[in-house]
Chains A and B, each alone.
Chain A
């Protein structure tokens, strides 16, 4: 068959002409970011386990724009400009969010117009004060002070305090986020102002001369742990 250049040009022109239409929307470009804080202090959580939800009304069906906090307690979302509402769903996080009288989580109104930084003020059950994680080749030691923040009717006890270490900077109680851990049951803690733990560093391949460590406090009846900042321990 003879290839007719004219036809090919015509087809190419049609294709180009059809695709000339402008896209309906620009991509979202405003970044909402911030972190979980209690009186200015950051609250550490487990990576990807504490969710938050953003809602935007006025465009048909309403569904959550869901995401979750990073382990340093930070979050970010790329949004269109407009009005949003943000909640942290019930039962999530080692802290209390603000609630309505019905028990549903109260929302925070956010108006996006360009980038915005918004720290979320929450009330944790406990705070990990003065965490110190040190160690050498064989062992990692941690000391810290647990301060009870919520002391009213919603107060909860400590179920367990844990020290986790991992090869990578993601450190938590999750199966693949620690290579060793140790814990003290809440009932076995004698002095909340001086809690000491020590964990043996196991051998692993490939070897490296550092590990990452982190303290997590498990509060009775609350699924998510509150964590201290991740510390890199080089030995």
Chain B
């Protein structure tokens, strides 16, 4: 009896619970997903969606990242530096790059940008000002990403609305978009930048969101890339495709140069906000380093940055990875990115001439220096602003870089252990015989080239600790680059005096106060200036690609000492292996040279490969999966 009662009750309960209508039971607004119409009604919500899209931007070099994606490694290639980490020697041991290197094909990101643009356009509840600014930012990010794609892949499918798959038809062929012409992508970027610049805020203090200045800087850089591909692409006719997906006709060059000059001049004349070169500190090298460190409103040079904030979850490990070993905040974590001598040799003397770092006199005898600094004296201030040379100051301490003692008989007394003590000949008290920062071949995390990186290296207390990290910003666009873009465009348009004017602004900030005359300008000068000013900012690969000199500079044959010190300042100077400069202290009591320094060019022993850039590297491989899913995609040339 009792059993029947129970069963009835349960059945009734179940029955009544199931009586609810489907519509009231199933159509509950989800509480963990915000529907589009709600999201696009509140500016704060739209900004959070946009924040994600900003975070997903792609840069060639970036300060953050871990493990195999570690930020420092993205700065370390192309013989401009030596990677002092056991797991990263492959960078200097390979004999070239895979055709797939540097490829990008993130159409998920493009779809999300297109959806954002579509939804923002459709929104009715946002204030008009907010709506148009968000829309312009979405279009800026999309144009910027297409720029990233076209630099790496050439012409790509230009998709400007979210594609919809019709499951009922089951036909994907309508979604197969062929590659656009390379010039079409550049035209798109330029026209987008022009279209959105007035919808973006005219405010030079906004750095991490798109502004008018950022849009114009993007336009200037894109136009100069397109122009140089058109002009210099003529020298490599094999790097083209008949459909124009790769390669731009030479006739378009001057049009693009004009666009680049116009966009750059709009920033230079102040029409996009008050941007100017950073000239704050009296010491020009410290000043140059501070361009990348100073995030206050005093810094009017940076235009568009990837910002970080310590203690707020967005930091990076660049300083942890690259701080000098002897001054490390995090014992045993340091010294990975070591600028090469190839790069250091590129800095010219204050009289605007090029000369090798003087290690020997005309007959091959070593030159003796009282201080380690002396060998670098009288050079471009950007050298000491970009590179920590031996004995340089960081966080109030001096780096200790020297490779050992050279004895009276010419032999070397050194050790495999950094900072080790040994007794000098004729003495019994052990003294330090090698720097605590190296250089010692094969000893990771200390310099092996004789230099440490200084650009982006954060002197803030704790920035080198893993627990805190650094919040130095990565500058994507800055005023000096705009000046260099303007100079290049003006030079190519035959306006040498205009070009010299812009170039001299950048150079005088670096202590090169003797102005270049209009007649001094050459293509080599333009290339050189970008190499030293914009070093470690993710430019060198794309610059050398667009000038079509990458296959000449990285030609796959070893770099000899003669190659290293000849053709300085030439655009096509060979640089396939990163060399180092090792200081030695003389121990020869009784000689006038006792205690002085000599320097030797030295190829770190880990360097066994030589960079070889093939024609097939100019445009990254589009993988088989992409091409078989969309057979209308044509292959890259020379692959």
User: Which residues of A approach B to under 8 Å, CB–CB?
Assistant: 61-64, 89-92, 102-103, 173-176, 221-223
How far does the alpha carbon of A91 sit from the alpha carbon of B237 in the complex, in Å? Answer: 11
How far does the alpha carbon of A18 sit from the alpha carbon of B474 in the complex, in Å? Answer: 56
Instruction: Name which residue of chain B comes closest to A172, CB basis.
Output: B556
Q: How far is the CB of A175 from chain B (nearest CB, A)?
A: 4
Cβ of B359 within 8 Å of any chain A Cβ, yes or no, is no
Instruction: Name which residue of chain B comes closest to A103, CB basis.
Output: B242
Cβ of B558 within 8 Å of any chain A Cβ, yes or no, is yes
Can you add 16 more A-B contacts, CB < 8 Å, to A174-B95, A176-B608? Answer: A61-B625, A62-B628, A62-B631, A63-B627, A63-B628, A89-B638, A89-B639, A90-B635, A90-B637, A90-B638, A91-B616, A175-B609, A176-B95, A222-B238, A223-B238, A223-B615
Say yes or no: A92-B638 contact (C-beta < 8 A), given A103-B242, A173-B557, A221-B237.
yes
Cβ of B475 within 8 Å of any chain A Cβ, yes or no, is no
Q: How large is the interface on B (under 10, 10 to 19, 20 to 34, 35 or more residues)?
A: 20 to 34
Q: Which residues of B contact A90 (CB under 8 A)?
A: 635, 637-638
How far does the alpha carbon of A221 sit from the alpha carbon of B627 in the complex, in Å? Answer: 28
- Are A175 and B610 in contact (CB-based, < 8 A)? yes
- Are B615 and A91 in contact (CB-based, < 8 A)? yes
Cβ of B614 within 8 Å of any chain A Cβ, yes or no, is yes
Q: How far is the CB of A87 from chain B (nearest CB, A)?
A: 10
Residues facing A in B572-615 (CB within 8 A) are 576, 608-610, 612, 614-615
Q: Which residues of A contact B628 (CB under 8 A)?
A: 61-63
- Are A175 and B237 in contact (CB-based, < 8 A)? no
How far does the alpha carbon of A67 sit from the alpha carbon of B591 in the complex, in Å? Answer: 63
Q: Which residues of A contact B639 (CB under 8 A)?
A: 89, 91
- Are A63 and B625 in contact (CB-based, < 8 A)? yes
How far does the alpha carbon of A176 sit from the alpha carbon of B631 in the complex, in Å? Answer: 38
Q: Which residues of B contact A221 (CB under 8 A)?
A: 237-238
How far does the alpha carbon of A132 sit from the alpha carbon of B191 in the complex, in Å? Answer: 61
Cβ of B629 within 8 Å of any chain A Cβ, yes or no, is yes
Q: Which residues of A contact B625 (CB under 8 A)?
A: 61, 63
Q: How far is the CB of A182 from chain B (nearest CB, A)?
A: 13
Q: Which residues of A contact B558 (CB under 8 A)?
A: 175
Q: Which residues of B contact A91 (CB under 8 A)?
A: 238, 615-616, 637-639
Instruction: Name which residue of chain B comes closest to A66, CB basis.
Output: B624
Say yes or no: A63-B95 contact (C-beta < 8 A), given A90-B637, A173-B556, A176-B609.
no
- Are B95 and A223 in contact (CB-based, < 8 A)? no
Q: How far is the CB of A84 from chain B (nearest CB, A)?
A: 16
A-B contact count (CB 8 A): 49
Q: Which residues of B contact A92 (CB under 8 A)?
A: 638
How far does the alpha carbon of A92 sit from the alpha carbon of B614 in the complex, in Å? Answer: 11
How far does the alpha carbon of A64 sit from the alpha carbon of B628 in the complex, in Å? Answer: 10
- 6 A-B pairs within 8 Å (CB atoms) are namely A63-B624, A63-B628, A90-B637, A91-B638, A175-B610, A223-B238
How far does the alpha carbon of A91 sit from the alpha carbon of B614 in the complex, in Å? Answer: 11
Secondary structure call for the B interface: loop
How far does the alpha carbon of A222 sit from the alpha carbon of B95 in the complex, in Å? Answer: 19
Q: Which residues of B contact A62 (CB under 8 A)?
A: 628, 631
- Are B556 and A61 in contact (CB-based, < 8 A)? no
Say yes or no: A223-B624 contact (C-beta < 8 A), given A174-B95, A176-B608.
no
- Are B238 and A64 in contact (CB-based, < 8 A)? no
How far does the alpha carbon of A63 sit from the alpha carbon of B615 in the complex, in Å? Answer: 22
Q: Which residues of A contact B638 (CB under 8 A)?
A: 89-92, 223
Nearest 8 Cβ contacts at the A-B interface: A63-B624, A91-B638, A175-B610, A61-B628, A103-B242, A62-B628, A223-B615, A175-B95
Secondary structure call for the A interface: loop
Q: Which residues of B contact A103 (CB under 8 A)?
A: 242
How far does the alpha carbon of A89 sit from the alpha carbon of B636 in the complex, in Å? Answer: 10
How far does the alpha carbon of A221 sit from the alpha carbon of B239 in the complex, in Å? Answer: 10
How far does the alpha carbon of A90 sit from the alpha carbon of B242 in the complex, in Å? Answer: 12
Say yes or no: A102-B242 contact (C-beta < 8 A), given A173-B557, A174-B556, A175-B609.
yes
- Are A61 and B629 in contact (CB-based, < 8 A)? yes
Q: Which residues of A contact B238 (CB under 8 A)?
A: 91, 221-223
Q: Per-residue CB proximity of B139-171 to A under 8 Å, as 1/0?
A: 000000000000000000000000000000000
How far does the alpha carbon of A231 sit from the alpha carbon of B153 in the complex, in Å? Answer: 41
Say yes or no: A175-B557 contact (C-beta < 8 A), given A63-B624, A91-B615.
yes
Q: Which residues of A contact B635 (CB under 8 A)?
A: 89-90
How far does the alpha carbon of A62 sit from the alpha carbon of B238 in the complex, in Å? Answer: 26
How far does the alpha carbon of A93 sit from the alpha carbon of B625 in the complex, in Å? Answer: 25
How far does the alpha carbon of A38 sit from the alpha carbon of B386 in the complex, in Å? Answer: 55
Of A64, A89, A173, A174, which one neighbours B624 at CB under 8 angstroms? A64
Q: Per-residue CB proximity of B530-562 to A under 8 Å, as 1/0?
A: 000000000000000000000000001110000
Q: How far is the CB of B557 from chain A (nearest CB, A)?
A: 6
How far does the alpha carbon of A92 sit from the alpha carbon of B612 in the complex, in Å? Answer: 16
Q: Which residues of A contact B616 (CB under 8 A)?
A: 91
Of A61, A64, A175, which one neighbours B612 at CB under 8 angstroms? A175
Most A-side CB within 10 Å, residue of B608, B610, B625, B635: B635
Instruction: Name which residue of chain A comes closest to B242, CB basis.
Output: A103
Q: Which residues of A contact B615 (CB under 8 A)?
A: 91, 223
Instruction: Name which residue of chain B comes closest to A221, CB basis.
Output: B238
How far does the alpha carbon of A89 sit from the alpha carbon of B242 in the complex, in Å? Answer: 14
Q: Which residues of B contact A175 (CB under 8 A)?
A: 95, 556-558, 576, 609-610, 612
Q: Which residues of A contact B612 (CB under 8 A)?
A: 174-175
Q: How far is the CB of A73 from chain B (nearest CB, A)?
A: 20
Q: Which residues of B contact A61 (CB under 8 A)?
A: 624-625, 628-629
How far does the alpha carbon of A90 sit from the alpha carbon of B237 in the complex, in Å? Answer: 13
Q: Which residues of B contact A222 (CB under 8 A)?
A: 238
Q: How far is the CB of B624 from chain A (nearest CB, A)?
A: 3
How far does the alpha carbon of A103 sit from the alpha carbon of B241 in the complex, in Å? Answer: 9
Q: Which residues of B contact A64 (CB under 8 A)?
A: 624
Instruction: Name which residue of chain B comes closest to A177, CB basis.
Output: B95
How far does the alpha carbon of A103 sit from the alpha carbon of B557 in the complex, in Å? Answer: 32
Instruction: Name which residue of chain A comes closest to B623, CB basis.
Output: A63
Instruction: Name which residue of chain B comes closest to A91, CB basis.
Output: B638
Q: Per-residue CB proximity of B562-576 to A under 8 Å, as 1/0?
A: 000000000000001
Q: How far is the CB of A46 from chain B (nearest CB, A)?
A: 11
How far does the alpha carbon of A223 sit from the alpha carbon of B615 in the complex, in Å? Answer: 7
Q: Which residues of A contact B614 (CB under 8 A)?
A: 223
How far does the alpha carbon of A16 sit from the alpha carbon of B615 in the complex, in Å? Answer: 53
Q: How far is the CB of A92 from chain B (nearest CB, A)?
A: 7
Instruction: Name which residue of chain A comes closest to B237, CB basis.
Output: A221
Q: Which residues of A contact B237 (CB under 8 A)?
A: 221
Q: Which residues of B contact A102 (CB under 8 A)?
A: 242
How far does the alpha carbon of A62 sit from the alpha carbon of B635 in the complex, in Å? Answer: 14
Q: How far is the CB of B625 from chain A (nearest CB, A)?
A: 7
How far does the alpha carbon of A90 sit from the alpha carbon of B619 in the complex, in Å? Answer: 14
Q: How far is the CB of A111 from chain B (nearest CB, A)?
A: 22
Q: How far is the CB of B389 from chain A (nearest CB, A)?
A: 29
Q: How far is the CB of A1 from chain B (nearest CB, A)?
A: 42
Q: How far is the CB of A30 from chain B (nearest CB, A)?
A: 23
Instruction: Name which residue of chain B comes closest to A102, CB basis.
Output: B242
How far does the alpha carbon of A145 sit from the alpha carbon of B242 in the complex, in Å? Answer: 35
Q: Per-residue CB proximity of B202-239 to A under 8 Å, as 1/0?
A: 00000000000000000000000000000000000110
Residues facing A in B335-385 (CB within 8 A) are none
Most B-side CB within 10 Å, residue of A62, A92, A176: A176
Q: How far is the CB of A99 from chain B (nearest CB, A)?
A: 11
Most B-side CB within 10 Å, residue of A89, A174, A175: A175
